[in-house]
Amino acid sequence: MNLSICETAAFLREHDRFLIITHASPDGDTLGSGFGLWYALHALGKQARVVCSDEIPQKFGYLLSGYHEEVFTPETIVAVDLAAEQLFGERLRPYADKVDLCIDHHPSNTRYAKRLLLEPDSAATCEMMLDVVDAMEVALDSNIARCLYTGLSTDTGCFKYANVTPRTHRNAARLMETGIDCATINRLMFDTKTRNRLKLERMVLESIEYYFDGRLALIAVTQEMLRKSGVPENETEGIASLPRQIEGVDVGVMLKEKENGGYKVSLRTSESVNASEVCSTLGGGGHMRAAGCFLPLPLEEAKLRLLEAVSAAYGEKL
């Protein structure tokens, strides 16, 4: 059942004892909308808990500055920024068919939840959550704003991508007016690299390969590179966007080796190719310009599978 913003706010006001589920390999938007919702529910005197199948990366610690966990038995399951069952992650997968409400902006959402608030034109789930918070008549405070700004900023590459609308900028202005320190958030999200991360980037850039007359650039992040550089597997975000930044490249691919084998594919595209469509043919999904899938194959086979799928989208032979 599709809900509107107002129906979603009414549902949240009418229920209690929330379990808020964020997606595996958590990013700024799922955590921002999850904890943002927690602060809003808390302001209404409700009980809630935010959970994630994977560990929350340290750099997001500031989102939890006013968060605490209470002991209660969950009654209402809410999933945020969570497009499909497999993104619940191993630990939380059992909840996938018990979700009472899903709030999401991914057009590829598989409609697994009993109630769905879906706005594919929103730059981030956090952008929708700001409307939900307003409709719940919760006053915007700096805890909520810090969370929602984080999702808005991270899902738009700091207001850089095509998903940004005038509304996104006006929302950022409103959130900023609560007095939050956006520059520090952005520095943490975008401009903080460990020395190890610099090492990894150098290795990755040496692995770069070009296909289709330089229109596709592909990088691989192997377990060996992670080991050598000392970068944890869950701290490679941003690397996926490196190949598409090269002049003349309209499809950028990152293949990241998983600990138990196989490669996670991240696809970033320009106008020419629909990333979500390509990844759908490989069992994944996402957005038009940024999507992903998993290929349980050795590196060279995974490359070939991916290149074939892109080739079909280009309408060209490899």
- Positions touching its own copies (CB under 8 A) are 157-162, 164-167, 169-170, 172-174, 176-177, 182-183, 186-187, 190-195, 198, 201-202, 205-206, 208, 241, 244-247
Find the shortest distance in angstroms from Cβ 61 to its own copies: 14
> Smaller CB distance to its own copies: residue 174 or 215?
174
Element (H, E) at 142: helix 142-155
Q: Tell me how crowded residue 260 is: count the other CB atoms within 10 A of its CB.
A: 7
- From the list 116, 142, 99, the residue with the least C-alpha distance to 5 is 116
Q: Are 63 and 52 in contact (CB under 8 A)?
A: no
Element (H, E) at 293: strand 290-295
Give CB contacts under 8 A, 24+ apart, made by 270-277: 270/244, 272/215, 272/314, 273/310, 273/313, 273/314, 274/313, 276/107, 276/108, 277/313
Find the shortest distance in angstroms from Cβ 269 to its own copies: 12
Considering only CA atoms, give the Rg of the chain.
20
> Smaller CB distance to its own copies: residue 133 or 203?
203
> Smaller CB distance to its own copies: residue 241 or 274?
241
Find the shortest distance in angstroms from Cβ 186 to its own copies: 4
Q: Are 59 and 31 in contact (CB under 8 A)?
A: no
Find the shortest distance in angstroms from Cβ 59 to its own copies: 10
> Smaller CB distance to its own copies: residue 159 or 294?
159
> Smaller CB distance to its own copies: residue 135 or 188?
188
> Smaller CB distance to its own copies: residue 34 or 252?
252
Find the shortest distance in angstroms from Cβ 244 to its own copies: 7
How far is 111 from 253, CA to CA, in rounded Å?
A: 28
How far is 269 from 240, CA to CA, in rounded Å?
A: 11
Find the shortest distance in angstroms from Cβ 253 to its own copies: 16
Residue bearing tokens 């550089």: 229
Find the shortest distance in angstroms from Cβ 297 to its own copies: 28
Q: Are 221 and 265 in contact (CB under 8 A)?
A: no
> Smaller CB distance to its own copies: residue 37 or 172?
172
Residues 6+ apart with CB under 8 A from 214: 248, 249
> Smaller CB distance to its own copies: residue 66 or 238?
238
Token digits of residue 6: 């107002």
Q: Tell me how crowded residue 133 is: count the other CB atoms within 10 A of its CB.
A: 26
Find the shortest distance in angstroms from Cβ 111 to its own copies: 29
